[in-house]
Structure 1
Amino acid sequence: MSFSAYPEYKDSGVDWLGAIPKGWSIKPLWALFRRHKLTGFPNEQLLSVYRDYGVIPKASRDDNFNKPSDDLGAYQLVQAGDLAINKMKAWQGSVGISIYKGIVSPAYHVYAPNHSEAPQYLHHLFRCNEYIAGYLANSKGIRVNQWDLEPQQHSRMSVLLPPFQEQTQIASFLDHETARIDALIEEQQRLIELLKEKRQAVISHAVTKGLEPTVPMKDSGVEWLGEVPAHWAIKRLKQLVLDAAGIQMGPFGGMLVDLDDSDTGYKVYGQENTISGDFSSGNRWVPESRYVALSNYHLEVGDIVLTRKGSLGNCRRISLLPQAGIIDSDTIRVRVQSQIINPDYLELLLHEAGYISTQLSLVKRGAILSGLNSEIIANLVIVVPPPEGQEELLLEIKAASSRFDQGISDCEYAVGLLRERRSALISAAVTGKIDVRGWQPPASATSPELAQEAV
């Protein structure tokens, strides 16, 4: 698919817009929208502004973990046609024209329409790359994640307006083409999930049944685990650790108040390090005196750390520790007897094995308090092959995982290309780089052709 440029252009007078088609006009945002704040509608549905989806009902997604306030009376009313902006994430694209009635956070900016332009065209325009760059230029703050969109500067942003018929044509074109691209992205994402499930199944089978199909088996004595190789042991994790301090929860939160935000040489490691595996990140430190006082919580190379809250059960073995430090209150440290269980093998189990996640799920359902603790970790059932068998399993699982990981990587690369194409297509259409006035929706979509174009 290719489109020609417009036959004639003119200077927009706006540096970041450049030349625009002759016949298009520009107005400031304030001429089209007025900011307002209507509250007192607690019974309306909750809406969220997503970078990828625009304004949608919060209940339609299961990946939004921001807990709304108990009192929704201060939340702002959004009507269909309103412009809603997450002021702290506008520079990431969390902007959109709503097609729903509902309420949004008091921290959002909400603008009522005062125009007769095509809303869906404006929706695509305000979410294109050029405008997202504009939000970034008009956002201020000390840290990137705390930048706020400055409303007065934003109100003066130039809004690019083709004639109304062209607006509706551009919107129809983009609705059709982005839907096709989104379908391909969804297909790739389903394949990613399938590959992850197969990878998980291969690992779970290997760490509970072994690599030799003819080996004698025995009943594990655990209903949900079934049979395991006869020469493997069934242990509780507390039987595999070094000593009484082998499983250590982090210090109470009150012991970690008034942390330094400049490098003292003694770091506080937490969930972000465990989830990412990057122990060089983070900006929390303690002075040497407090590090010494909290030395029971210090980390060493070879330690295994687990998250207690949020992303429950994430696990890493520390192979490199950039500087001395302690764990925070949301982390559990494990030190094992390496002659019984290889720390790398235990990391694999805690991070990947289905029977471990089964136990954690059972604990979560029956828990009075949320989160893991040292008792839960200590009583995890661990299937322990002989040391030489652990080495062999690690090698085989690594080889099998690499094949699945390559497939996942290929799919993720395809998703990246499709998203780039989607963004480029929107930007080209709403800024007049391509002329879609003669476009007509095809009788039938041919997704394979689009997939070929994307790669």
Structure 2
Amino acid sequence: MEYPAYDSYKPSSIDWIDKVPSHWVTWKVTHGFNLVGSGTTPKSDNQSYYEGGETPWITTSELREKEILDTKFKITKTALADYSTLKVYKPGSLAFAMYGATIGRLGILGIDATVNQACCVFDEPEQFDTKFFFYWLWMRRDVLISLSVGGGQPNLSQDDLKQIRAPIPPVTEQQKISAFLDYKTQQIDHLIEKKKALIEKLEEKRITVITQTVTKGINNNIKLKPSGKHWLGDIPKNWVCSYLKHFSLIYDCKHLTAQFVDDGYPLASISEVKGWYVDLATSKKTTYEYYHDLIAGERKPKTGDIIYSRNATVGEAAIVSKNTPDFAMGQDVCLIRSSDLLLPDFLMYFLNSKLILQQLDLLMVGSTFKRINVNDIKNFTLLIPPIEEQKQIIDYLIEVENKSQSMVLKVSEALERLEEYKAALVTLDFPAF
């Protein structure tokens, strides 16, 4: 992809820019904006600075190359009065992340707002059109980061940004360029949102099919009977409606803090139960002594056991495969060991169904933190078909999953191409106008 070129170019006076259109003029940022400032973080343990606050307070995590219309935190008039470094910036101001993991991220204020100390704000433009400079910084982000300093993470200061020199066209031309890039990026953003919505619909359809299958089976002509629970309705006549504790043993993790070592026995916590099988690739490790303490009382995971998250990522689960090395449960998970009447793969599908999700929602109503205890898990309502029917359901759902994953992969690849195209828009030279 290439933009139309200008008629003539001249050498740039900036080391990392080769050439610029002949009629462009190089300005220092402080000559282009009358105000370049930042902010601070009011003490988080002082509720008078946050409780009932009405003034939006932006952190760098909210800079996502979009217009900022709301913030996670808001501060009070007391905070504004106590901290002279807190300034309220006007809509249209440009915010830039100066350091940390988000260095180089950008945002345009769509509201009156303050910022923390990691944000640099450009306001009151003179020679620069703010939106043009937004795209200029976006285009040069990698170069700017490479110029930063810092030990663990790159770091740019306000002074660094004030010293930036940028070649720019007249303001009217800047506005034409930024309007063109707005139009193109909005087109791409619209397509990206449609792809993301499609992925969400595919996931919703997948969960719906799983739920229908593990509650009604795959035989549409099967006779039904009352489940005995008004919220569940009728179930297949030869199925059993019971509680998980009647068909499984459930062991909570040991509530002790293990010593971490570089080379030892893996620990499975909530991060290790993101997929169908327990993944220990990036797990923390502990010593032989702690490992044996953690697996005491039948807690040593076996093939077919399920590790279930009961804190933060409540409801996520993964099966222990036959290739999984010896490991112990870390914090915030429990172990489910199904009986011979309940196949692990069927139970996994059931745990991913809306029937379990609804039970989780009821258990966590009013809770500030997402967390359930082991007794809640033991009392999950469960539907258990005969073993042969469980096998048929597993085979059917594997086929459904494969088709669903194939479709999601295709959409994800298209989404990735759109993201790459959008990135390319702001890594090329500006189009000629």
Q: TM-score range by the shorter chain?
A: 0.7 to 0.9
Q: 2 CA distance for matches of 1:322 and 1:13?
A: 59
Say whether the 8 Å CA contact 1:118–1:167 is kept in structure 2.
yes
Matches within 5 A, 1:10-409: 10-12=10-12, 14=14, 16-29=16-29, 32=33, 34-37=36-39, 42-49=53-60, 50=62, 52-54=64-66, 56-58=68-70, 76-80=86-90, 81-86=92-97, 87-91=99-103, 93-104=104-115, 106-113=116-123, 115-116=125-126, 117-128=128-139, 130-132=140-142, 134-135=144-145, 138=148, 140-142=150-152, 147-151=153-157, 153-241=160-248, 246-252=249-255, 255-256=256-257, 259-260=259-260, 262-276=261-275, 279-282=279-282, 284-296=284-296, 297-319=299-321, 323-337=325-339, 339-350=340-351, 352-365=352-365, 370-409=370-409
Moved more, 215-224 or 189-198: 189-198
Say whether the 8 Å CA contact 1:78–1:102 is kept in structure 2.
yes
Say whether the 8 Å CA contact 1:55–1:98 is kept in structure 2.
yes
| 2:36 aligned counterpart, secondary structure | strand
Deviations 1:249-303 (Å, cap 9, x if unpaired)? 2233xx216x43x423112221221125562333522222222222235434332
**Unaligned 5+ residue runs, structure 1?**
60-65, 438-455
Residues 17, 222 of structure 1: CA spacing in aligned structure 2 closer, same or farther, 3 A cutoff? farther
Say whether the 8 Å CA contact 1:126–1:132 is kept in structure 2.
no
RMSD across aligned C-alpha pairs, in angstroms? 3.1
Residues 191, 112 of structure 1: CA spacing in aligned structure 2 closer, same or farther, 3 A cutoff? closer
Say whether the 8 Å CA contact 1:269–1:282 is kept in structure 2.
no
Say whether the 8 Å CA contact 1:82–1:110 is kept in structure 2.
no
Instruction: Give the deviation of 1:77 after TM superposition.
Output: 4.0
Q: 1 CA distance for matches of 2:313 and 2:371?
A: 10
Residues 10, 47 of structure 1: CA spacing in aligned structure 2 closer, same or farther, 3 A cutoff? same
Aligned AA for 1:268? L
Larger relative helix fraction: 1
Aligned AA for 1:285? K
Aligned length: 410
Q: 2 CA distance for matches of 1:367 and 1:360?
A: 11
Say whether the 8 Å CA contact 2:307–2:335 is kept in structure 1.
yes
Residues 191, 283 of structure 1: CA spacing in aligned structure 2 closer, same or farther, 3 A cutoff? closer
Deviations 1:410-455 (Å, cap 9, x if unpaired)? 2222222222212212332xx33x32x1xxxxxxxxxxxxxxxxxx
| 1:45 aligned counterpart, secondary structure | strand
Instruction: Give the deviation of 1:206 after TM superposition.
Output: 0.8
Residues 203, 16 of structure 1: CA spacing in aligned structure 2 closer, same or farther, 3 A cutoff? farther
Deviations 1:188-219 (Å, cap 9, x if unpaired)? 22222222222222111111111111111111
Instruction: Give the deviation of 1:390 after TM superposition.
Output: 1.1
Deviations 1:16-41 (Å, cap 9, x if unpaired)? 44333223344455655633336778
Aligned AA for 1:110? C
Say whether the 8 Å CA contact 1:78–1:98 is kept in structure 2.
no
Query: 2:45 matched to which residue of 1?
Result: none
TM-score, length of structure 1 as denominator length:
0.80
Residues 278, 109 of structure 1: CA spacing in aligned structure 2 closer, same or farther, 3 A cutoff? farther
Residues 37, 387 of structure 1: CA spacing in aligned structure 2 closer, same or farther, 3 A cutoff? same
Instruction: Give the deviation of 1:389 after TM superposition.
Output: 1.0
TM-score, length of structure 2 as denominator length:
0.83
Say whether the 8 Å CA contact 1:264–1:285 is kept in structure 2.
yes
Q: 1 CA distance for matches of 2:330 and 2:113?
A: 39
Q: 2 CA distance for matches of 1:217 and 1:97?
A: 58
| 1:256 aligned counterpart, secondary structure | coil
| 1:149 aligned counterpart, secondary structure | coil
**Unaligned 5+ residue runs, structure 2?**
43-48
Percent of residue pairs bearing the same amino acid type: 23
Q: 2 CA distance for matches of 1:301 and 1:20?
A: 64
Residues 52, 115 of structure 1: CA spacing in aligned structure 2 closer, same or farther, 3 A cutoff? closer
Query: 1:416 matched to which residue of 2?
Result: 416
Instruction: Give the deviation of 1:367 after TM superposition.
Output: 5.2
Aligned AA for 2:335? R
Query: 2:9 matched to which residue of 1?
Result: 9
Q: 2 CA distance for matches of 1:326 and 1:67?
A: 39
Query: 2:46 matched to which residue of 1?
Result: none
Say whether the 8 Å CA contact 2:56–2:74 is kept in structure 1.
no
Say whether the 8 Å CA contact 1:78–1:100 is kept in structure 2.
no
Q: 1 CA distance for matches of 2:75 and 2:278?
A: 33
| 1:424 aligned counterpart, secondary structure | helix
Say whether the 8 Å CA contact 1:97–1:122 is kept in structure 2.
no
